[in-house]
Structure 1
Amino acid sequence: MENILQFIQDNLPWLIEHKYVFIFLGVAVEGINTTILAGFLASIGAVALWPAFLLALAGQIINASGWYTVGYFAGSKPIDKWGRKDEKSRRIIEKVEHYFKRYSGRAIFIAHITWSLTIATMVMAGSFKYNFKKFTLYNFFGSSVWVLMVFFVGYFFGQSYRYLFDYFKNIIIGILFLGGAIAVGYILKMIFRLVYVRFLFFNERLKKLHYKMRDHLNNFFSDKNSENGNNKNLS
């Protein structure tokens, strides 16, 4: 294990010297890759577990709050410019917008834990001037679950590398394990995004079906009432 730590010390000394600052700023600016790296470094003993986790959580909360601020002052312009580039993107953003208007807090939480459309949702929350205290609450819980999941991916791969270290005392293997952790993170992100988008479209279809059935029932009972009224008049 000393090999990988020595490699970091020799080639990335600034990472060792300012490791906790790097984790906080890295997650606040970038997100997923730094969080996975933090979990990996914690598992091999390069950083302390809880400080790394808490700083990653703080960085993620700051990241989401930053995008909320962008939406608060810029309105929907960022979403209109970057989120509606084509027909498919436009439809997805519209579904997110409709869902947010109905379930604002739930939308913020789900956007975090599914790693999907997070920036768009946070900007949307700001542009709608969603209550900041409520936003902070949902942001905290959503960020906590997100960081826990992503941090665990890095930690798991780091632990796997530690178990195999006795057989493969090679820095390249450690880098491959870290790369594998990042790849798994992005695969999970793609899967969660797909599930979330399908859920939004399914939810919209379900709502339309509900309205259609309600209209049919209203028409049915109104026709029945009309028939009963006509029968009474005839009698």
Structure 2
Amino acid sequence: MNVEQLLNHYGYLAIFIGSILEGETILTLAGFFVHKGYLLFVPSILCATAGGMIGDQVCFLLGRYYGTRLLQHFPKLDPLVEKTNRLLCKHSSIIIIGVRFMYGLRIAGPIAIGMSKVSFSRFLLLNALGALLWATIIVSFGYLFGQSAQWLFTQFQQYTKLLFALILLIAVIVLSIYWYSKQRRNK
């Protein structure tokens, strides 16, 4: 099986599963494969949105029903939960939409939100919006990365001989300076 066949059979499933917990790396790769024509843009975004939503909904429910017990077992999460709660009091809608973009709060954020007074339906709606925005941005980034990488490699191939000659010239100059200074120190 080649890469194209693997992506055709398992690409969208990989995006979905990868988006449940983390996802940025998987989505960047998905965008790259969209650029290469192995995957389609909209289905990639929809799979990522669904995976991201499900992962956050599970964390929300964990926070809602088991939050206190989780904090007892994982005390390292306590400062992250407190940070999320402080932010949530001030800007709940923005926090719910943007928590997946905040480094270190991807899992702890929805747990903390689940422990708060935010309703399930409100979180579901704002989480869906945040997941769609997140998936679109990251897959688009991967697509643009693929476009830029293709241009860069094309340009690189055109100037390979010149670059090699330049590196060789720099190496000769550096070695000559080293040899000359070593000779001077020995005298």
AA aligned opposite 1:34:
I
Q: What TM-score, normalized by structure 1, do the two folds share?
A: 0.57
* Structure 1: distance between partners of 2:115 and 2:102: 22
Equivalent pairs, count: 157
Q: What TM-score, normalized by structure 2, do the two folds share?
A: 0.70
AA aligned opposite 1:43:
H
Deviation of 1:168 (Å): 6.6
Match of 1:52 among 44, 64, 67: 44
* Structure 1: distance between partners of 2:156 and 2:47: 31
Match of residue 60 from structure 2? 68
1:105 aligned onto 2:97: no
Match of residue 162 from structure 2? none
Match of residue 112 from structure 2? 124
Deviation of 1:116 (Å): 4.4
Report % sequence identity.
29
Structure 2, unaligned runs of 5 or more: 158-187
Alignment CA distance shift 1:91-1:114 (3 Å): closer
Structure with larger RCO (C-alpha < 8 A, sep 6+) = 2
Structure 1, unaligned runs of 5 or more: 1-5, 170-235
* Structure 2: distance between partners of 1:67 and 1:31: 15
Deviation digits for residues 47-93 of structure 1, max 9, x if unmatched? 011111111111111111111121122123334543x43xxx75554
Native 8 Å contact 1:39 1:152 kept in 2:
yes
Match of residue 155 from structure 1? 143
Match of residue 21 from structure 1? 13
* Structure 1: distance between partners of 2:36 and 2:138: 16
Q: Secondary structure at the match of 2:107?
A: helix
AA aligned opposite 2:98:
I
Match of 1:144 among 132, 137, 154: 132
Deviation digits for residues 19-63 of structure 1, max 9, x if unmatched? 222211221244222111111111111101111111111111111
Across the aligned residues of Structure 1 and Structure 2, the Cα RMSD in angstroms comes to: 2.7
Match of 2:29 among 34, 37, 46: 37
Native 8 Å contact 2:27 2:135 kept in 1:
yes
Q: How do 1:130-209 residues align onto structure 2 when only pairs under 5 Å count? A: 130-166=118-154
Alignment CA distance shift 1:19-1:75 (3 Å): same
